[in-house]
Amino acid sequence: MTHARVSGTGGYLPEAILTNADLERLVDTTDEWIVERTGIRMRHVAAPGETTSDLALQASLRALDAAGLHAHDLDMILVATTTPDQIFPSTACLLQAKLGVGGCPAFDIQAVCSGFVYAVATADQFIRGGQCRHVLVVGAETLSRITDYSDRGNSILWGDGAGAVVLSAAKEPGVISTHLHADGAHRSLLEVPAGVSRTDVTDDKIRMEGRAVFKMAVNTLDQIVDETLAHNGIAKSELDWLVPHQANIRIIQATAKKLAMSMDQVVVTVDTHGNTSAASIPLALDVAVRDGRIRAGDLILTEAFGGGFTWGAALIRM
Ligand code: ACO
């Protein structure tokens, strides 16, 4: 039996930083309110001309280096993003060209904040099925390009960045199980209305009913965590780490409480990264791998909830 195992992680954050003090100058808000309601103190913002595939490239090179692999070794490239460089080609194809390789399949996955979990599940299937040995899985976003900096209800959340993992074929798991869901009924609660075929809409920034999304996120993450533990017949106490989607510290704390985990066992980057959508989990994972908290053999649970709505979880042995 072949399994998918994390062989390397990488992350990249653009240089420019947007602090809560900067936001105080843009909208009617305060550092105190943002920290208390979200846990966020700062977020990174891409430079003019710096695209999602540029961020993805830096994270990918670091993940490949950590895995001891070259881009030529890749059998597939997946990019989870909701802020692609352009309508087409896919950001995955643009990344492939920047990596200087060609031939292997490359495609984007669009599941907003759950995109990375969806991409891990996809890569896992191709590795388990024997079609791929090494898959590059990237979450990359330039959310600043679709943020309405006059809307205090959500502009305070978003950040730019990219995280990447290389999943490689191995005898031992690895990715133990993945759980994906979606419910398209709640579009108006969280969306960017502009699109290609809805030509009547010109608004192209994020709109969100924050309070309603918050409640659904907490309840849904409760369920996905239960589903994952029950599916694998494991107890909460067997988990070493929670690596959650970084949407809001209060949502993260609610999931940690549900799992009876101390916040010392939770990787938190929302304070300095903000919500980077599909990039947030691989960025957090990379931070905790590189600072030595997450080690080989640790059992980690990742979970995400985002626009769509989409949600999912992955149980991974590092
Ligand atoms: N500064 C000061 N006051 C504010 C701000 C702000 N930035 N934003 C809202 N307020 C005010 C509101 O106007 C409201 O005032 P009122 O009581 O006088 O009407 C009050 O603060 C409370 O507003 P709420 O919206 O209830 O604030 P809440 O505590 O819910 O926090 C937030 C808002 C941070 C957006 C939160 O709801 C949240 O994190 N939601 C979920 C985000 C999420 O998980 N999204 C899904 C993933 S992201 C993706 O998929 C792209």
Residue 203 is predicted with a pLDDT of: 66
Q: Which residue has the tokens 């960025």?
A: 283
Q: Which atom of ligand 1 is nearest to the CA of 23?
A: 7
Lining residues, ligand 1, CB within 6 Å: 29, 33, 37-38, 112-113, 152-154, 156, 190, 210-211, 213-214, 217, 247-248, 251, 275, 277, 305-307
Q: CB atoms < 10 A from the CB of 101, how many?
A: 17
Closest-CA residue to 282 (of 248, 314, 260, 308) = 314
Cβ pair 191, 205 in contact under 8 A: no
Q: Is-contact 28 152, C-beta < 8 A?
A: yes
Q: How many CB atoms lie within 10 A of CB 104?
A: 17
> Which CATH number does 3-171 carry?
3.40.47.10
CB contact at 8 A, 7 and 70: no
> In this structure, which CATH number among 3.30.930.10, 3.40.50.1000, 3.40.47.10, 3.40.50.300 belongs to the domain 176-317?
3.40.47.10
In the chain, which segments carry CATH 3.40.47.10? 3-171, 176-317
Contact 116, 164 (CB under 8 A): no
**Per-residue model confidence (pLDDT) at position 297:** 97
Which candidate in 44, 134, 179, 245 is catalytic? Answer: 245
82 Cα nearest atom in ligand 1: 51
Give pLDDT, residue 197.
86
pLDDT value at position 204? 84
pLDDT averaged over 10-residue windows placed end to end, the chain, 318 residues: 97 98 98 98 98 98 98 98 96 98 97 98 98 98 97 98 98 97 95 84 85 97 97 98 98 97 98 98 98 98 98 98
Cis bond upstream, residue 116 (ω within 30): no
Q: In terms of C-beta density within 10 A (0-12 exposed, 13-18 middle, 19 or more buried), how is residue 167 classed?
A: buried
